[in-house]
Amino acid sequence: MDITFIGCGDAFSKVLGHNSALLTFNQTNLLIDIPDSNYYRIDKMGLSYSDIDNLYITHLHGDHINGLEKLAYFRKFISPLEQKDKTVKKINLYIHETLLDGLWESVKNGLKYTNDGEKKLEDYFNIYTVTDDFQIDGVLFNLIQSQHVPNMPVFGLFVEDEFFYSADSVYNHPLLQSLLPKVKKIFYDIHFYPFPIPVHASVRDFEKLQIEDKEKVYAMHYDDSKVNTLCIEGIKLVQPFQKIHI
């Protein structure tokens, strides 16, 4: 299994791209979140939206879902041209059941009204609402609820013996302690500002970890001032377009 970070920046990033990653495994893939910055960045990877098989939405902040309309229309109008005679399949969309209605509310003004009648989200995607876990080609993805903004549900992903992906999250020491023995790598929302941010983890929080545990941790969702920085206080920073073998 490999993970490639299409973007690894925060909501205000102009250089790193908004945080999103593409997992590749067993001849398929899973895109985590769909910021609008993915549209031009995925092209730099030699891919297009025609290549995406599955999509997972962690939460409903704009920098994680504001590219969904473009993805839907790309598959409807552009993918048939790219695929030529091949049948264009709908992307499988996996989302926690509490987020589905809010996702549609966020995109329906752009997707509902078309020249061939009113549409629903399921006209564009195969929708799978999940609560605890879902499976793709033999890989079991477990949802782990994160703490981010009050009343904003966020669900990271955990694959046993492989990785934990926090999504947007504050620091959660008990959760990390329970997951560290079960994974090879942890991708965590970490900021490097010299002041606290109540909705994101700080690199200073990770001082609580043992050195050998820090080796598993990669920072994501950080600000543009840290571009080309590889490591801070023992924490590796994922780089834009970096492919990491898990």
Per-residue model confidence as pLDDT tens digits over 181-208: 999 999 999 999 999 999 999 999 999 9
Domain ranges, ordered by start, for the chain: 2-245
Return the amino acid letter for 149.
Answer: V
How many Å apart are CA 185 and CA 163, to the nearest integer?
Answer: 5
pLDDT one-digit tens code per residue, 49-95: 999 999 999 999 999 999 999 999 999 999 999 876 678 899 999 99
Residues of the chain with pLDDT > 90, as a percent, come to: 96
In this prediction the pTM is: 0.96
Whether 58 and 64 have beta carbons less than 8 Å apart is answered as yes
Residues 134, 94 contacting (CB under 8 angstroms): yes
Do 15 and 239 meet the contact criterion of CB atoms below 8 Å apart?
A: no
Its CATH class, for the domain covering 2-245, is alpha beta
Question: What does the mean pLDDT of the chain come to?
Answer: 96
